[in-house]
C-alpha cells in the first residue's frame, strides 16, 4: 500500500511536486499522528463548481481561443478540476457589465415583455463552452439578487429595499419564467436559491427578506408557482448568506408547512468560520443539504499580492465546511479581469483566473492551485470519512471515492514544516507537510 502525494507551496512557484510514500507496519507510534478511519462515514459530496457571471462571460469573450481552451480545460475537464456545477444570477448582480432586469414594464402583468438577451450576450456563450469541454450538461443553480425596481419598496435594484407584497405572485412567476428560459434552450437547471444575501443592504443589486418574509414568499407564492409551471424537480435553497445566522434562518423558515418545499440551505464564507453552524443545522434538520454558494477574496479586504496567504484562507474554509457537512461547493466568479471586475459599483474581487486586458495575458492565481487540491481528488459522490489529528496547526479532510480510493487533503498555513505519521488499519506512513503548503494524497493498494 502506498500514497501518491501532490504538494504545493504558497511561497514558491505554482508547480505541483509529486512523490510516493510507502506504508509500513504500525510501530506503535503515539506522537505526531493523523489517523484515518474509512469505516466511519458521513455525508456525500455532489461536486465542485463556480459562478458564470455576466462579468466572467464578458472577460471570456475578450480572450483568444488558446486562452479560452486553457481556462476551460482546467475547470471542466475531468482530468483537471472536474467542475460539475455552476451558479448563475437571474438579472444583474454586482459582477455585471451593467444593471438590467428581464422585465422593466410594471404594467406587464403576464410578463410578455420578458427579455433574456442580457443573459444570452455573455453568460450563455461561456456556459456553452463549459458544457462542450465537460462533454455533458452542467447542472445549474440560479439565484436572484433583486426583483425589478418597480417591484421593490425603494424603487431601486440597488441599496436593499424589500419586495412589495402586491408583487409576490408576479415575482414568483418571473423566477419560473427565468428557469423556463434556460430549459427552453436545452440547459439543465437543477436548483435555485430564493434570494442572494437577504440580510444585506448592498450598494449593488440587493433585496432584504426577514425570515418570515422569505417563508411566506416560499410557502404561499414561489412553491405553488413552481408546481404550476411543472418545475417540481427544482431544488429550493433558503438563506444564501453568511454562516453566522444560518441556524437562526433555518429555524425561522423550516416547519411542518415548509419542510417538504426546502431541499437545503446555501451559505457564504464572508463572516468567518462558524463551522459549528453547519453542525447545528445538520443535527436539527438532518435531511437538508448544505451548500457553499459563494466564496471569494474581496480586494477591499485582502491584499491582492498576498496570494499564498489568501489561498490558504480559502483552503482553511473549504476544509472546515467539508468536515462539518457541506454537500457541494460553488466558487464565485470563475474569471475576472486583472482589476477584479468588471463590476458596476467597483466591488472588485479576486478569482482563480484573472485576465490582463492590456497585455492580453491569462493569469492563474494561487487560489486556483489550492482549489485543484480538492476538486481534482474528491470525486462526485465521494463520502467523507473520519480522522483524528495531533495538532490544530494542520487542517485535514479525508474522503472515500466511488472507485474505492481514499484521498486526503492537509493544509499547513504555518511558518514551520510539520511532520505527521499517517496511520490507517494497522499501517503507517511518515510525511512532512512543508510550511505554507497544501498536500493531497491518494491511498492505493492493499
Which of the listed residues 328, 363, 380 is the one where a domain comes to its end? 380
Per residue in 252-265, pLDDT (tens digit) is: 999 999 999 999 99
- What span, in angstroms and rounded, lies between the C-alpha atoms of 17 and 14? 10
Q: Determine the pLDDT at residue 446.
A: 63
- What span, in angstroms and rounded, lies between the C-alpha atoms of 368 and 70? 13
- Say if residue 407 is in the same domain as residue 315: no
Strand 33-45 relative to strand 382-389, pairing: antiparallel
- Say if residue 233 is in the same domain as residue 111: yes
Percent of the chain with pLDDT over 70: 99
Residue 376 has pLDDT above 90, yes or no: yes
Per residue in 280-337, pLDDT (tens digit) is: 999 999 999 999 999 999 999 999 999 999 999 999 999 999 999 999 999 999 999 9
**397 alpha carbon, distance to own chain's centre:** 17
Torsion angle of the four alpha carbons 88, 90, 94, 100, in this order, in degrees rounded to the nearest 10: 140
- Indicate the average pLDDT of the chain: 97
- What span, in angstroms and rounded, lies between the C-alpha atoms of 134 and 21? 32
- Say if residue 293 is in the same domain as residue 396: no
Which of the listed residues 380, 397, 422 is the one where a domain comes to its end? 380
The one-character DSSP state at 137 is P
Which CATH number characterizes residue 300's domain?
A: 3.20.20.80
Closest CA to 300 of 362, 358, 246, 343: 343
Alpha-helix runs per DSSP H in 352-437: 366-375
Which CATH number characterizes residue 413's domain?
A: 2.60.40.1180
- Say if residue 287 is in the same domain as residue 433: no
- Ranges of beta strands (E only) in 270-316 are 289-294
* Contact yes or no for 111/103 (Cβ under 8 A): yes
- Say if residue 37 is in the same domain as residue 101: no
In this structure, what are the phi and psi dihedrals at residue 270, rounded to the nearest 5 degrees?
-70, -10
- Say if residue 277 is in the same domain as residue 195: yes
- Say if residue 285 is in the same domain as residue 314: yes
- Ranges of beta strands (E only) in 279-357 are 289-294, 328-333, 336-337, 353-356
Q: Which three cell numbers stand for residue 366?
A: 494561487
- Say if residue 27 is in the same domain as residue 67: no
Which of the listed residues 365, 380, 395 is the one where a domain comes to its end? 380
- What span, in angstroms and rounded, lies between the C-alpha atoms of 18 and 123? 37
- Say if residue 105 is in the same domain as residue 30: no
Per residue in 65-118, pLDDT (tens digit) is: 999 999 999 999 999 999 999 999 999 999 999 999 999 999 999 999 999 999
Per residue in 322-373, pLDDT (tens digit) is: 999 999 999 999 999 999 999 999 999 999 999 999 999 999 999 999 999 9
Per residue in 389-429, pLDDT (tens digit) is: 999 999 999 999 999 999 999 999 999 999 999 999 999 99
Per residue in 114-133, pLDDT (tens digit) is: 999 999 999 999 999 999 99
* Contact yes or no for 222/216 (Cβ under 8 A): no
- Say if residue 289 is in the same domain as residue 172: yes
- What span, in angstroms and rounded, lies between the C-alpha atoms of 331 and 192? 16
- Say if residue 32 is in the same domain as residue 62: no
Q: How many domains, the chain? A: 2
Q: Residue 8: give the domain boundaries.
A: 2-43+384-444
- Say if residue 242 is in the same domain as residue 292: yes
Amino acid at each position: 500500500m502506498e500514497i501518491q502525494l501532490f504538494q504545493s507551496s504558497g511561497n514558491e512557484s505554482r508547480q505541483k511536486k509529486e512523490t510516493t510514500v510507502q506504508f509500513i507496519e504500525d510501530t506503535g507510534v503515539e506522537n505526531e499522528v493523523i489517523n484515518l478511519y474509512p469505516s466511519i462515514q458521513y455525508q456525500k459530496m455532489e461536486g465542485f463548481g463556480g459562478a458564470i457571471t455576466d462579468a466572467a462571460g464578458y472577460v471570456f469573450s475578450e480572450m483568444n481561443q488558446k486562452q479560452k481552451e486553457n481556462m476551460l480545460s482546467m475547470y471542466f475537464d475531468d482530468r483537471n478540476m472536474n467542475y460539475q456545477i455552476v451558479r448563475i444570477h437571474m438579472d444583474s448582480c454586482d459582477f455585471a457589465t451593467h444593471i438590467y432586469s428581464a422585465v422593466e414594464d410594471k404594467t406587464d402583468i403576464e410578463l410578455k415583455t420578458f427579455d433574456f438577451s442580457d443573459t444570452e450576450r455573455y453568460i450563455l456563450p461561456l456556459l456553452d463552452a463549459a458544457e462542450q469541454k465537460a462533454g455533458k450538461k452542467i447542472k445549474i443553480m440560479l439565484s436572484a439578487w433583486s426583483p425589478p425596481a418597480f417591484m421593490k419598496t425603494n424603487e431601486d435594484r440597488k441599496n436593499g429595499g424589500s419586495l412589495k407584497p402586491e408583487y409576490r405572485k408576479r415575482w414568483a412567476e418571473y423566477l419560473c419564467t427565468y428557469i423556463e428560459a434556460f430549459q427552453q434552450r436545452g440547459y439543465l437547471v437543477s436548483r435555485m436559491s430564493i434570494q442572494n444575501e437577504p440580510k444585506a443592504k448592498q450598494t449593488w443589486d440587493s433585496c432584504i427578506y426577514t425570515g418570515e418574509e422569505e417563508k411566506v414568499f416560499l410557502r404561499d407564492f414561489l412553491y405553488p408557482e413552481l408546481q404550476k409551471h411543472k418545475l417540481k424537480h427544482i431544488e429550493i435553497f433558503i438563506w444564501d448568506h453568511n454562516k453566522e445566522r444560518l441556524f437562526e434562518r433555518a429555524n425561522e423558515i423550516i416547519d411542518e408547512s415548509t419542510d417538504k418545499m426546502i431541499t437545503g440551505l446555501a451559505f457564504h464564507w464572508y463572516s468567518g468560520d462558524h463551522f459549528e453552524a453547519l453542525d447545528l443545522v445538520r443535527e436539527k434538520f438532518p435531511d437538508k443539504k448544505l451548500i457553499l454558494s459563494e466564496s471569494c477574496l474581496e480586494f477591499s479586504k485582502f491584499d491582492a499580492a498576498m496570494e499564498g496567504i489568501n489561498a490558504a484562507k480559502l483552503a482553511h474554509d473549504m476544509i472546515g465546511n467539508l468536515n462539518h457537512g457541506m454537500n457541494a461547493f460553488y466558487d464565485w466568479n470563475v474569471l475576472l479581469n486583472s482589476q477584479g471586475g468588471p463590476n458596476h459599483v467597483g466591488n472588485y474581487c479576486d478569482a482563480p483566473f484573472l485576465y490582463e486586458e492590456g497585455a492580453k495575458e491569462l493569469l492563474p492565481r494561487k487560489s486556483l492551485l489550492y482549489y485543484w487540491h480538492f476538486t481534482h481528488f474528491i470525486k462526485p459522490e465521494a463520502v467523507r470519512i473520519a480522522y483524528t489529528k495531533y495538532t490544530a496547526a494542520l487542517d485535514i479532510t479525508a474522503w472515500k471515492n466511488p472507485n474505492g480510493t481514499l484521498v486526503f487533503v492537509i493544509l499547513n498555513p504555518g511558518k514551520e514544516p510539520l511532520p505527521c505519521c499517517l496511520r490507517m488499519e494497522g499501517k503507517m506512513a511518515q510525511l512532512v507537510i512543508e510550511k505554507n503548503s497544501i498536500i493531497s494524497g491518494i491511498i492505493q493498494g492493499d
